[in-house]
Structures are given as C-alpha cells and as structure tokens.
Structure 1
Amino acid sequence: MSKDIAISVRNVSKKFRLFTSPSARLAEALHPFRKAYHREFWALRDVSFTVERGEVLGILGQNGSGKSTLLQIICSVMQATEGRVDARGRLSALLELGAGFNPEFTGRQNVMLNGSIMGFSRKEMQHRMPQIEAFAEVGEFFDQPVKTYSSGMSVRVAFAAAIHIDPEILIIDEALAVGDAKFQHKCYARIENFKAENKTIILVTHDIGQITAHCDRAILMNKGRLVMDGKPRDVVDRYIETIFGDDDPVPGKANNAGESHARQVTIDHPNIEFADNKGIEERRSYCKNEVRFGDRRAEIVDCVVEAGGVWDPPQINFGDPINIYAKLRYSAKFAPLLGFCIKTLAGIEVYGSNTFMQQIPVPASAPGTLQRIRFSFSAPLRPGDYFLDVGVAEMDGTPGGSPVDVRRSVAMISIAPISRRISFNGLFDLSPKFDML
C-alpha cells in the first residue's frame, strides 16, 4: 500500500445469515445433516476504494445501503466475508450512539477505558482528561453513570474521547446528528482543524450540506454496492436522485440528468422573448450534467435568467436585479408548489425558497396547458459562478412538497467581478450599517 494511502478497501463483501426465528437458528445448528434454515443476505458486494492521507471522504446512502457495515469492517469491529481492508495509522471511530461505552460506568471511567484500549497509559489519559471534560461540556454528569445520559450527552463524551487520543484516521457515523447546533459547530470546527493537520476523516451523514461543506470527495452506497465515487456536489445530486427517482442507481450508470430573498412570483407573465419556442436545453447557461427527478405530471420545459435587460447573460453585474423565468407544461391537474435555489459550485445552498414558504397560492392548471412563472429578487452575491435549481412539486403540507419535476444544477449563473474593492467576506453582501453609540 502506498505511503499516501491511509485506507484501502479491496473487493469487500459481507454476508449475513438471516433466520425467521431463534428456533430456526437452533434447528440449523443441531441438524445432523447440516440442513439450512436461513437465507443469505449480502450487506456489501464487491466494494473497492481508497482514501488518501489527509483526505476527507463523505459516505452517502439511504438506510440499509451498507454504510455502517462498511465502517465496522474498516474499524475491525466486523470481519469481511470476502475482500480485504488495510488502514495505516491510529484509528478512532464514533460508529454509533454510545458505542463501546459501559452504561454502568461514568463518563470519566469510560474515557479512561477507551484510552487504555487505544494503548494510552493511565498517566497519559489523566493528562488529557481536563481537555476531554471541557470539550464534552456535560458538567457534573461526567462523573455519573452513562445510563443516566441523554443521547446528546452520550455523543458529547464519545466525540470528545475520540478526538483527544491523537487519531491519524477519524471515522464518524451519523452520531453528530443528535447533538445541538452549538456542539455540532464545535465538532465541525475541530474537523476543519484535523483537515489542516493532514489527518484522514471518513464522515457518514444524511446532511448533504455537511458533505459538500467539509468533504474533499464522496461515495454513494446503494443496496450494498458502491454506485458513485466523485466530487461531493455530483454525489449529492445523485443521492437526491436515488431518494426521489423511480429507478435504483447501478454502478457505472451515467446521470441523464444585501437583500437576497425572493420578492415575488408572477404567474403567466407575458414576455415576447420568453414566449419563443426554445427549450431549456438550447439556452447558453444550460448544464447538461443536471440531475432531474420526479413523476413528470408537469414538466419544466424552459428556464432562463434575465438581468439588466439581458436574457441568458454570460455574466451578471454585482447587485443587479435578477429574474428567473420558467415555463411548465401540465399533463395532470394538481395543486402545484414552485421553487428555486441558488448554490455554490460545491453544492452549498446560498438561498432557496418556494411558493409554499412564501405563502403564495398557485392555481392548478388543466392538462395540456402551459404556465409561465417569474421569480424576482436582488442578489448581491460575491463574484463567481453559481448553480441554479428549479422545481415543481405537488402540495402535500410539507415545505418541499412531493417532487413532480425537479431540475438540480440546471443552469449556471456567473456574477461578474466588481471594479471596486470588495467590502465583505462570505457569499453575499448584507450591507450592514455601523453606528458609534
């Protein structure tokens, strides 16, 4: 294994025997002719990838896709049925809530036990204990049995213990989802510090924003197989497609697919240029690698951006009013929800909203009719390139509705560099006022 490779997973498969009842398991164990009473279930099938030293790898997948099984094999908690895993460096893992903790022991005792398992002496752990206790922030509960902890407290102590044993490889499996916002921010700040120290991290989460924000690379698991390995934004788009799409992804299958809030949505806006017969695929800004999903009872047949009187502009001046026009064709009548989102090239949302959130009623259209809409807003975005998502969904009482035609990364918006010095950091200008009081 190369010195630059921290983790190597080669052709790993994992098989489980599933029994219908405990009695079936006993019958198989005692049968004189070894009759099988089980059925085989492959949780992993021929999974291969490597993680370079200093890389942050995100793993996405629906529940039951094999993510946790894969991590347990990497951490040597479980043995693979086939294949091999090699890890180079001290490995610390937070696999699940309270994993490895004795509920009868106090938090302090569990931290000491965890340190001894990792090869640290009692004196070394006592030296680290004040830092661990301070990071966990559970107060007097640190010396109470873990069985009295809430889920959030268990995660605090477990994460604090995991990061204070100088790991070269850190593995986190969804555990941070139960922590409060303040603690999550502190954890992800520590992850950023680990990245700066060239340590290897594997992060499993259903929070796609954390994948795009913190990971250098991502893989997508589905039904025990690795179906995509690539840039976080591309893998996140494919993940969304697996959730809402009709077909399961398979390995190797290509995708076919200041004041920054929306001011208004206009329905059936008359405009000569937008009334042409062009489709969205003919627009200059169209991204052919878009991800599209939904049942298509209505289709977004065109989408175009207008700014400063220019349609489909190659660049938009900083702070210019922006109009997003979309044309929909209905094949069924339903209560629609219309929305858009602007995100960075890494997939981080800058802003997203829809007619449900804005409390704007949208009339249902009869099958065969066309509907034109316009989103208008001002976006003092930092100069650079951004992706645009547009979508139509059916109202179901939830903020996002049930997808009908969602087109992610369907177009690119480019904000032109400004001649004057940029007076802010971040993605957009809040235009604050400073007063001396």
Structure 2
Amino acid sequence: MSSELAISVHDLSKCFHIYDKPRDRLFQMLARDRKQYFREFWALNGVSFDIRKGETVGIVGRNGSGKSTLLQLVCGTLNPTHGTITTNGRIAALLELGSGFNPEFSGRENVYMNAAVLGLSREETDARFSEIEAFAEIGEFIDQAVKTYSSGMMVRLAFAVAINVEPQILIVDEALSVGDELFQRKCFARIEAIKESGATILFVSHSGSAVVELCDRAILLDSGEKLIEGAPKSIIGKYQKLLYAPREKVASIRQEIISGGEVKDAGGSEVAISNVSRATQDLDSEDMDAFYDPHLISQSVLSYESHGAWIERPQLVDRTGEPVNCLKRGDTYRYTYQVRFEKGATAVRFGMMIKTPGGVELGGSVSAANLQGAVGLVRKGSVAQVEFSFQCRLNPGTYFLNAGVTGTVGESETYLHRLLDACLFRVLPIGDNMATGTVDFNCVSDLTLKNIEED
C-alpha cells in the first residue's frame, strides 16, 4: 500500500446468510455444508477504490445499497467474504453512536472504556476528558449509569468520545442526522476542523448538499456494486436521477451510469464555463445592462426520468421579456419554463434552485409551501407556464439553475420531472465591488476612528 493512501479497498465482497426460519440455523450447523438451508445475500460485490491521505470522500446510494456494510468492513467490525481492506492511521468511527456503551456503567466509565477501544491510553484519555465532558454537555449525568440516559444524551457522549481521539481517519455514517439542530451544527463544525487538520474522512449521507459541501470526491453504490466515482456534484446528480427513477427504468439508468465511466470534471460545469465568450469574460463596466450571450449554454444538463411530465424551454428573461443570461446585480429577472403533462397528476408543485458550479445550493423557491397549497389536479394534455421572479443579489460569477415539478405518485410526493443545470448564467463584473462571498447582503460599513494623543 502506498504511503500516500489512507484507505485501500480491493475487490471487496460481503455475503450474509439469510434463514427463513430460526430452526434452519440448527439444521445448517448439523448438515456440515452437505445441504444449504440459507439464501445468500451479497451486500457488497467486487467494490474497489483508494482514498488518499487528507481526502474527504462521500458514499451515496439508495437504501440497501451496501453503504453501512462498507463502513463496518473498513472499521473492522465485520469481516469480508472476499477481498482486502488496508488502512493507514488511527480510525474513529461514528456509526451507531453509543452501541458499544455498557448501560450499567457510568458515563465516565464508558468514556474510558470506549476511548481504550479507539486506541487511547488512560493517560491520553485523562488529558482529553475535560474536553469530552464539555462537548457532551450532559452535566452531572456523566457519573450516572448510562441506562438512565435519554437517547440524545447517549448520542452526545458517544460523539464527544469519538471526535476527541484526534483520528487520522474518521468514518461517519449518517451520525449527524440525530440530535437537535444546535448539536448537529456543533458536530459539523468539529468535523470541518478535523478535515482542516489533514485527517481523512469517509462520509455516508443521504443529504446531497452535505456531500457536495464536505467532500472532495464521491462514490455511488447500488445493490452492493460501485457504479461510478468522481466529482461530488456529478455523482449526486446521477444518484438522485437513479433515486427518483420509475421502477421499470432503474436497470437502464444503472447501465447508463456504469457505461459513463469515471467522472473527472465537476459534472460538465467546467466545460460549460469555458464556453463563455471572451467578450463576456473581459467586461468590467458596472453600467452595462443585462444581455444574452449565445456561447453561455449549460453543457451539463441532467434530466430525471419522467413520471408523466416534461419540463421544456427553461430560460431567464428581463423585465421586458427578452432572454438574458448575463445579469446585472441588483436587477430583477424572471426564470420561466413550461411543463407538459402526458399523464394526469395531483398535488402538483413547481420549483427552482440556484447553485454554484460546485453544486452548492444557494437558494430557490417552490410554487406552494405545502401540499394543501398545491394544484389539486392537472389533467392529461395540460401545459403549465411556470415563472419565478427574483432579484439578483449574487456577486460576479457563474451560476446554474435547476427546474422541477413534483406531484403525488402512489401515496408519496415525488419528482414528476426535474432538470439539473437547466440554465447557465453569469453575473457581470462590478467596479469597486466591496461585497464579499457569493451573495451581496447589502452590508454597509460604519467606521469611527478616534485619535489618542500621546502624553
């Protein structure tokens, strides 16, 4: 294994034996492999990848795709059926938080026991204990039996231990979906600090925005197989397309993703941005009005499979209705598209989202706040003209627009159709621009300087 690698996984497979009846386990033991009383379930099959030191990699996939099994294999809590896993560095895992605690022991005793399992000596735990206790924020309960804890207190203490062992490799499996909002923000802040320190992070989440913001690379698993790996924005787009696909089209979409190979760029956005005309890139006049640049076209449009609706003709227009894609900050624009319904639909809502080229969601809107405000019934053959008006408060740069329409399929709300990166637009440069970051919040500075005379 190269010294540059933190985790190396080669041809990894894991098979579980599924018994229909409890007594079949006994029969299998007595049969001594002469007869099989179980069914094989391959949770992982032939998965390979390498993760470099200091890299943050996200694992995404539908429920049952093998994500949690993969992390347990990397951590060593499960043994592989086939294949090899090599790790280089101290591992801290945020899997089923608190699952290793002894309910009869106090919180303090469990901290020392859990820290020892993670590789800390008693002296090292002594040095970190005050920080662990402060992070957990459970007060005097630290000396009470863990069986008296609420689930929230258990999670706080378990996270506090795992996060304070100064891991070289951090494994996170949806652990941040528990706890209140303040605790989740505190956890994210600590994970970001660990990332900045140079640790390697393997991160599983169903939150596409979290993967895009935290990860350098992403891997898509499905039915125990690795379909593709590459830039987070592109992988999340393909994952969501697979997630919302009609059942009869899942197999074809899987094959389409696999045949696409490894993704090297940021989902096509780099290609699209390079097509911006020289005239657009060189503009530096804040007095120029918005206009349309024919070279500024999204090359990374990703269309979800349709559930009976199709989004067509997405575009940005100015107040007069003229198409534009080079916008002036502070002006108001309209994002419009049509939706053609090939099937009837109920509880229909429309939406839009503005994103950075890296895939970070900046903001958007929906046509109704809840299903009660949605369009109750849309008949087959209908065409909806959708329009969202917004004031451009973005700083100069390049951005993407999504378009989506949702409705009720079966008993749940889902996308009837969705276009990722449907439109590409650019906010024109501004002379003497004092706004920083991505969004201009119209901040105004007020400076008072008092001169102090020297004695």
TM-score bracket for the superposition, by shorter chain length = 0.7 to 0.9
Distance, in Å, in 1 between the alignment partners of 2:366 and 2:358 is 22
Shift of 1:371: 3.1
Distance, in Å, in 1 between the alignment partners of 2:409 and 2:32 is 57
> Which residue is 2:34 aligned to?
34
- Aligned ranges for residues 264-283 of structure 1 at < 5 Å? none
- Aligned ranges for residues 210-225 of structure 1 at < 5 Å? 210-225=210-225
Q: Which runs of 5+ in 1 are unaligned?
A: 258-282
- Aligned ranges for residues 206-245 of structure 1 at < 5 Å? 206-245=206-245
371, 378, 383: which one aligns with 2:396:
383
| One-letter amino acid matched to 1:21 | K
349, 368, 383: which one aligns with 2:361:
349
Distance, in Å, in 1 between the alignment partners of 2:33 and 2:351 is 63
Question: Is the contact between residue 112 and residue 125 of structure 1 (CA under 8 Å) also seen in structure 2?
Answer: yes
> Which residue is 1:270 aligned to?
none
Shift of 1:57: 0.8
Distance, in Å, in 2 between the alignment partners of 1:397 and 1:29 is 44
Distance, in Å, in 1 between the alignment partners of 2:194 and 2:328 is 38
The secondary structure found in structure 2 opposite 1:340 is strand
> Which residue is 1:260 aligned to?
none
Distance, in Å, in 2 between the alignment partners of 1:43 and 1:68 is 10
Count of equivalent residues: 410
- Aligned ranges for residues 26-425 of structure 1 at < 5 Å? 26-31=26-31, 34-246=34-246, 247-248=250-251, 249-250=254-255, 252-254=258-260, 285-307=296-318, 311-335=322-346, 336-357=348-369, 362=375, 366-394=379-407, 401-423=413-435, 425=436
| One-letter amino acid matched to 1:149 | Y
Q: Name the % identity.
A: 39
- Pick which of 17-26 and 30-39 moved more: 30-39
Distance, in Å, in 2 between the alignment partners of 1:366 and 1:70 is 45
The secondary structure found in structure 2 opposite 1:41 is strand
Q: Deviations over 1:381-405 (max 9, x none)?
A: 122122111112225899x943211
- Pick which of 321-330 and 243-252 moved more: 243-252
| One-letter amino acid matched to 2:57 | L
CA gap of 1:37–1:340, structure 2 versus 1, over 3 A, is same
Question: Is the contact between residue 389 and residue 407 of structure 1 (CA under 8 Å) also seen in structure 2?
Answer: yes
The secondary structure found in structure 2 opposite 1:192 is helix
- Pick which of 344-353 and 212-221 moved more: 344-353
Distance, in Å, in 2 between the alignment partners of 1:82 and 1:40 is 14
Shift of 1:433: 6.8
The secondary structure found in structure 2 opposite 1:300 is strand
Question: Is the contact between residue 55 and residue 200 of structure 1 (CA under 8 Å) also seen in structure 2?
Answer: yes
| One-letter amino acid matched to 1:384 | G
Q: Which runs of 5+ in 2 are unaligned?
A: 262-266, 269-293, 448-455
TM norm structure 2 = 0.83
> Which residue is 1:19 aligned to?
19
Distance, in Å, in 2 between the alignment partners of 1:127 and 1:10 is 38
Distance, in Å, in 2 between the alignment partners of 1:397 and 1:69 is 30
Distance, in Å, in 1 between the alignment partners of 2:387 and 2:373 is 13
Shift of 1:165: 1.5
Distance, in Å, in 2 between the alignment partners of 1:170 and 1:33 is 39
Q: Deviations over 1:141-199 (max 9, x none)?
A: 22222222222222211111112112111111111211211111111111221122111
CA gap of 1:113–1:68, structure 2 versus 1, over 3 A, is same
Q: Deviations over 1:190-234 (max 9, x none)?
A: 122112211101111112221111111111111111112111111
Shift of 1:48: 0.6
| One-letter amino acid matched to 1:253 | S
Shift of 1:332: 2.7
- Pick which of 82-91 and 206-215 moved more: 206-215
Question: Is the contact between residue 115 and residue 162 of structure 2 (CA under 8 Å) also seen in structure 1?
Answer: no
- Pick which of 285-294 and 230-239 moved more: 285-294
Question: Is the contact between residue 365 and residue 371 of structure 1 (CA under 8 Å) also seen in structure 2?
Answer: no
Distance, in Å, in 1 between the alignment partners of 2:164 and 2:33 is 52
Shift of 1:369: 4.3
Distance, in Å, in 2 between the alignment partners of 1:143 and 1:33 is 50
